[in-house]
Structure 1
Amino acid sequence: MKLPTAPRARRTLIALIAALSLAILVAGIGIYGLLIGSEQPIESTDPPSSTAAPSAEPSREPTSPPRIPSIPQTTDAEAFARSVAAALFTWDTGSGFLPLDYTAVVLDVADPTSFEQSGLAADIANYLPTQSAWVQLRPYATTQRLEITSSFVPDAWAGALVQARPGQLPDGSVAYTIEGIRHRSGVWNGDPVTAEQTLAFTIFIACPADDPCYVLRLSKLNNPLH
């Protein structure tokens, strides 16, 4: 008589299937939790650890915005004059900066008393493109740099020192005439184009004893002291 055992077998089979299904469901939930993480923090009864677990997420260091290189401070008069000259003529219309940004670089090393600052700002404006010209040059990816061919104290500076009234010039005042070639490059109708022009100008600076040099004024472009 095996008939009474059939229902028991079916019940046993059903129980096994239910247990297996529950196990699969629990395993599935566990794997899903590992993939997406727990939505709620798990409270722990363990005492807090003194060292935090390393984060799996890479650290994101803040990136500094691009900056125009500053003019290095120095007590070397000629080196300073050449650095100022390079800053005056080095710009890129595609850099995201404007003429005023390049002006600020030179004004950062201007007369610390601010006595000559407004005059120097007006001088610099004669060396950089206007805002409207900058907008017109930008679509052509226009850039500029200066190749300095010579720098020297002009002979006329000795006469200027003699004629200056007492206290008219700061201590350590000196003038340097810069001669060089202005290089411009850009893109026209998809082709690279370049242009060169010789130029000269004079930078008036002051280098007090044991203090960094600073800019006083600039001559008009192509009207230097000789």
Structure 2
Amino acid sequence: MRYFYFTLGPVQDFVSQARRTRDFWAGSFLLSWLSAVAMQSVKNQCTTAELLPEADTHFLDCLQGRGTGKKPTQGSVPNRFRAAVCGGFKADLVVKDVKRAWVHLADIIYAKDLVHFPHVTDKTRDIWDRQVEHFWDISWILVDEKNNAAPNQRKQIRTYFPPEEPGLKCMMMQGWQELSGIETPQSADLEKFWQPIQKNSIVIYASANTFPPWVLSSGVLPVILRH
């Protein structure tokens, strides 16, 4: 038996940028959803894996489309956990599943909320793809003996190097380039880009045929789109 430690971040920087209760809820739920994907990925490899904290079974059941009753509406899955795993466990597969879920979600949001505007160009898509790729800091360590200090020791080895963000910065997500790609702070140009999007902001509820079964089924993740 080996021990797998998983951490998804940056939590504090991400959640602290919420401006409204709805934003805080959506961010917390998103973190829980991605962590649940990681937990389920572990269990897919090792059905007998012992998770600590214990997995929210209802959350994981809904993730796979097997949940009954009311779907989860609160983020109840922690962003870090330990798993006692079987021999042959491949930690990199967990990371791949989390990244695949995140990219798929981002593609859905882009398709629903941005792609149909004629003024949204390839420059916006390039910025979007770059930020999606480098948004999360996923760290893990696989050890032969139980060691609760392992995650902190792992954090001392820096492997998260997001690229420098050029251009104008977003007023809501500090440090990230805003999506228009406009290089100078011209308010008229910024309004031309953002006003149509703001007027058409919508709320999307994911359905079983929106997400592939390995990510989500039966609408467990309400995706709130806002700008």
Identify, as 1 or 2, the structure richer in helix. Answer: 2
Q: Do both share a fold (TM > 0.5)?
A: no
Higher relative contact order (Cα pairs below 8 Å, separated by 6+ residues)? 2
The structure having more radius of gyration, on CA atoms, is 1
Query: TM-score normalized by structure 2?
Result: 0.26
